[in-house]
Amino acid sequence: MSVLSTHDLIIDVPGRESGTPLNITIQPGQRWGVLGPNGAGKTTLLHTLAGLHAPRSGEVRLDGQPMHQQHRRYIAQRLGLIFQDRQDGFPASVLETALIGRHPYLSAWQMEGAADYQRAEEALQRLDVAHLRDRLVSTLSGGERQRVAIATVLTQAPSVWLADEPTNHLDLHHQSSVMTLMAEQAASGHAVMMCLHDLNLAARWCDHVLLLYPNGEACWGTRDSMLVPSALEKLYRQRLTVVEVDGAPVFVPING
Ligand SMILES: Nc1ncnc2c1ncn2[C@@H]1O[C@H](COP(=O)(O)OP(=O)(O)OP(=O)(O)O)[C@@H](O)[C@H]1O
């Protein structure tokens, strides 16, 4: 299992002066939620953690080693990223797309084997898109595409999941199913970090939370220490009221 950590990390958001240096460690078994308003830098942070975006300063370490010194194949076998937006540039079926998750494990001209197909088929089943296996991804609905993207990462079987709004486009049933999948991944020793817009998903499904402000300030800690109404009202510039359902707080925006 892998550990992802940041060391005095300042993410590179264009036009932003600086920010709070991030010193966080995402341990196996943990479920982190990243919360913040539009433009706060959540996607930039996730891409920086995945090694796709250079930091302004500081560094990201995977298994104790600076990520910029590691081979991309090593990183791709350990880190899975669910992008916020889909870019299905070339025609591929749902099954072919899921099989991309096996590429980090194959050599340049090696074809996928039976075990790779089995993983992909199981992932499609888990995400409820197996019936679409032969369809072109470009013909799918938004929610179906999102589930195929998550199935591709499940096929990849990374130790660390970085998920940018994983419930985007999903109906209520599939939102719950995907959050259950994230919880299962964490329970089996994987680390999960998710950017979320829904405070209530964070309250129910995350054990750690990072609050990211538009000016680059940030704070992080256990869920209960972070999901404090006054802090969240400041974060979103929105008044909230809190009710409790099933033992978990539910944050409701109020006018005025
Ligand atoms: N290539 C770019 N050029 C200029 N500004 C950029 C560029 N890429 C990102 N930004 C800006 O950086 C800021 C952070 O963007 P980012 O996508 O990380 O925010 P976010 O918190 O994920 O937002 P959202 O909740 O809307 O998805 C935004 O203000 C965005 O406009």
> Using the 8-state DSSP alphabet, how is residue 165 labeled?
S
What is the pLDDT confidence band of residue 256, given thresholds at 50, 70 and 90? low
- For ligand 1, what atom is nearest to the CA of residue 41? 18
Is 60 among the domain residues?
yes
Task: Say yes or no: CB of residue 55 within 6 Å of ligand 1.
Answer: no
- For ligand 1, what atom is nearest to the CA of residue 212? 21
Task: Say yes or no: CB of residue 41 within 6 Å of ligand 1.
Answer: yes
Task: Say yes or no: CB of residue 47 within 6 Å of ligand 1.
Answer: no
Is 256 among the domain residues?
no
CA distance 148 to 94: 7
Ligand 1 centre and the CA of 13: distance in Å?
7
Boundaries of domain holding 53 = 4-222
Ligand 1 centre and the CA of 116: distance in Å?
36
Mean pLDDT of the chain: 94
Ligand 1 centre and the CA of 198: distance in Å?
18
Is 243 among the domain residues?
no
**How many domains, in total, are found in the chain?**
1
Is 96 among the domain residues?
yes
Please tell me the residue having the least CA distance from ligand 1 atom 24: 38
Mean pLDDT score, 13-27: 94
- For ligand 1, what atom is nearest to the CA of residue 36? 21
Pocket test for ligand 1, best of 13, 81, 84 (most atoms within 8 A of CB): 13
Q: Provide the pLDDT for residue 17.
A: 85
ipTM of the complex as predicted: 0.97
Ligand 1 centre and the CA of 12: distance in Å?
10
Contact 130, 161 (CB under 8 A): no
Q: Provide the pLDDT for residue 2.
A: 83
Ligand 1 centre and the CA of 51: distance in Å?
17
Between these two residues, 109 and 164, which has the higher pLDDT value?
A: 164
Is 167 among the domain residues?
yes
Q: Which residues contact 68 (CB under 8 A, 6 or more apart)?
A: 51, 54, 59, 60
Report the range of poorest mean pLDDT among 16-25, 85-94, 139-148, 197-206: 85-94
Is 186 among the domain residues?
yes
Task: Say yes or no: CB of residue 42 within 6 Å of ligand 1.
Answer: yes
Give the domain CATH number at 90. 3.40.50.300
Residue pLDDT, tens place only, 152-171: 999 999 999 999 999 999 99
Ligand 1 centre and the CA of 136: distance in Å?
30
Task: Say yes or no: CB of residue 158 within 6 Å of ligand 1.
Answer: no
pLDDT exceeds cutoff 80 at 88: no
Q: Where are the beta strands (DSSP E) in the chain?
A: 4-10, 25-26, 31-35, 57-62, 65-66, 79-82, 160-164, 191-195, 208-212, 218-222, 240-245, 248-253
Tokens representing 170 are 């999903």
Is 48 among the domain residues?
yes
Is 192 among the domain residues?
yes
